[in-house]
Amino acid sequence: MNTLERTDHVGTPEQPESNKTGAIKEFGTVSLPYGQAKIFCLPITGQIEGHIVLPSQNKTTKYEHVLPQLVAIEEDPNTAGLLVLLNTVGGDVEAGLAIAELIKSMSKPTVSLVLGGGHSIGVPIAVAARYSFITETATMTIHPIRLAGTVLGVPQTYEYLEKMQDRVIKFVVNNSNIREEVFRGIMFRTGELARDIGTILVGKEAVKVGLIDGVGGLQDAVEKLKQLSCGTQDNQSCGYTQTEPPMVQRPNGQAHHPQQPHIPYEFE
């Protein structure tokens, strides 16, 4: 009798090894073991593809792949949290905002880590997580949005651009510690970029202005995610299920549990 194998990409214990390998190959995703629960690693890399398919030589993140994975993570009881790794040049505004809104609205703990670059529409995705990190050498470019293709030289075009820009600005301000006037100031700054308007923030600068929560790396991001997952799942402490060892019968007839091994989970 033929049996159906699971084909999700959440990395649950029942998932066949071939599916896990396929998830890494096709989507760049993997689930990290964390006690009985798992941390799902979601990379946002290359250019965020919108409604138009980009050339095959471009490295892209496709929103039609990311959105269903986020829904599966939210519904999977074996997933303790989501770790978002960003190294993106930006891309389609609406596709980026769709990913950011879905990450923001998740009940599972979420942590983002900016590696290399989190430019343009990658900024809202970075701040959408409950806590955000940036490495010391990573950069974030904040600049006004732009239109591709045919542009009509009428006032309505500029009004549309202003509305699109306000959507991005409000999302970033509402999900970070940066003030709106500060964000607008660095977005429209002139003289810093040779061929563009805007600002490049490097590591600590993004934290200083309130855009990112802290400077850190992989260890900091994983530890923060474990800390946020404390008490979020039934019968679990910090995402770790501590099972009772088998009962041992003493010579006097009394049953007891052997001493539990020490599990060093300490957080700041």
Two structure tokens written together for 164 = 């699109």
What is the Cα–Cα distance from 182 to 210, expressed in whole angstroms? 9
What is the Cα–Cα distance from 145 to 161, expressed in whole angstroms? 7
What is the Cα–Cα distance from 165 to 184, expressed in whole angstroms? 10
Active site residues: 120, 143
Dihedral angle, C-alpha 151, 156, 159, 161, nearest 10 °: -20
